[in-house]
Structure 1
Amino acid sequence: MNFIRQKLELPNQGKKLLLHSCCAPCSGEVMEAIIASGIDFTIFFYNPNIHPKKEYDLRKEENIRFAEKHGIPFIDADYDVDNWFERAKGMELEPERGIRCTMCFDMRFERTALYASEHGFDTICSSLGISRWKNMEQINDSGIRAAGHYEGINYWTYNWRKQGGSSRMLEISKEEAFYMQEYCGCAYSLRDTNKWRMENGREKIKLGEKYYSNNNL
């Protein structure tokens, strides 16, 4: 591997990081950079937005596989999908990056911050921001808000896209042949993605069939 990133340090002299992970492709490069920097961290997988359960299990198992390969502790949090749908009521037709996504980030980061506070972590962050499809400011605002509820917890706003991070993310995804998710994750993003595909003469998404390889992207 010829990719070189500067050594990272947690903000405010933090010692222990809880990394919220949304999926293996997004977290692969983030994990690699944190490992290379010698930071003590644990993966926290809490994503009740992911729909349907088959897709949730595929994304989670890929993340577990990569964490186990590198000996990183993995916290498998609850899949309280009913709670997510309850919170999303009235937002079913909101666009991507709108208030429904803010609610979703808030929900996931609130649980991450709570776990961090209860289990001796002083810093939280997320792999969500590495995706070019996400609004980094929106994500960071949710993270900072969640961390603010607990004394001694900081949200790390590091930009994982910098210094070739996005390119390395794709390289790792192909090297590991990760499962390739083709929509953000929730039922409404699946609905809207399939609607766009049908309007543009493409087939609907087929869950569990597409994987990264050196022959794609």
Structure 2
Amino acid sequence: MVREKLVLPDNGKKLLLHSCCAPCSGEVMEGIMASEIEFSVFFYNPNIHPKKEYELRKEENIRFAEKHGISFIDADYDVDNWFERAKGMELEPERGIRCTMCFDMRFERTALYAHENGFDTMSSALGISRWKNMEQINDSGLRAASHYEGLTYWAYNWRKKGGSSRMLEISKDENFYMQEYCGCAYSLRDTNKWRMENGRGKIKLGENYYGS
């Protein structure tokens, strides 16, 4: 895969990359490293439910970051706060207002950390997933960064130029844990409902890996 030389917007020097999981961030991290951009990974995902799934995703992300000597920032799992914010949105569909709330919550914390710790740019690996609405994600990122002078949200399209394909290659090579739902309790509920209606068993946490 031939990579383009990535350059941070607005003459940025230091990037804080929000990561939701290793499969989504692997290709993104590889591209950033190849461009010799200084960055750290920020893991703040209180939406992920249950705790077992949260720990699986986090540990895989830590493993990949440590392999490449990348700083990994493990933020709080304030899950009660997330459920409080999600009240009244329990039946909203994927990509609806509950997801916007979730992106806003995670990016607000990312922007705050960036502001307080000398990062001039923030971005997220969330947008590489074809299951996500990239415009919805970028809107949340731009809103979060706008609260702090001198902080830019990098709305780069990580899917382009073979990014999505490379994401799968890395996931297989690294034998990453394979998530089978977006992450939250309501996503797990709805995915299991669909699976049962289509003759498939419920999701079994911690069993499927890309290399298997």
Could you state the TM-score of these two structures normalised by the residue count of structure 2?
A: 1.00
Q: Paired residue for 1:154?
A: 152
Q: Classify the secondary structure of the residue corresponding to 1:67.
A: helix
How far did 1:125 drift? 0.2
How far did 1:149 drift? 0.4
The amino acid across from 1:68 in the alignment is E
Q: Paired residue for 1:145?
A: 143
How far did 1:5 drift? 1.1
The amino acid across from 2:177 in the alignment is Y
Q: Classify the secondary structure of the residue corresponding to 1:162.
A: coil
The amino acid across from 1:183 in the alignment is Y
Q: Paired residue for 1:58?
A: 56
Structure 1 CA distance for aligned equivalents of residues 22 and 134 of structure 2: 19
Identity rate of aligned residues, in percent?
85
Q: Paired residue for 1:198?
A: 196
1:23 aligns with 2:57: no
Moved more, 3-12 or 102-111: 3-12
Listed one character per residue, the Cα deviations across residues 16-41 of structure 1 (whole Å, up to 9, x for unaligned) are 00000000000000000000000000
Structure 1 CA distance for aligned equivalents of residues 121 and 2 of structure 2: 24
Q: Which runs of 5+ in 1 are unaligned?
A: none
Listed one character per residue, the Cα deviations across residues 103-140 of structure 1 (whole Å, up to 9, x for unaligned) are 00000000000000000000000000000000000000
Structure 2 CA distance for aligned equivalents of residues 191 and 111 of structure 1: 26
Structure 1 CA distance for aligned equivalents of residues 191 and 145 of structure 2: 32
Structure 2 CA distance for aligned equivalents of residues 4 and 83 of structure 1: 42
How far did 1:12 drift? 0.3
Structure 2 CA distance for aligned equivalents of residues 5 and 79 of structure 1: 35
Tell me which stretches of 4 or more aligned residues in structure 1 moved more than 2 Å: none
What pairs with 1:127-138 in structure 2 (closer than 5 Å)? 127-138=125-136
Listed one character per residue, the Cα deviations across residues 155-202 of structure 1 (whole Å, up to 9, x for unaligned) are 000000000000000000000000000000000000000000000000
Structure 1 CA distance for aligned equivalents of residues 99 and 152 of structure 2: 22
Structure 2 CA distance for aligned equivalents of residues 12 and 68 of structure 1: 29
Q: Paired residue for 2:167?
A: 169
Q: Paired residue for 1:99?
A: 97
Corresponding residue to 1:109 among 82, 107, 110 = 107
Count how many residue pairs are aligned between Structure 1 and Structure 2.
212
Could you state the TM-score of these two structures normalised by the residue count of structure 1?
A: 0.97
Superposed CA RMSD: 0.5
Q: Which runs of 5+ in 2 are unaligned?
A: none
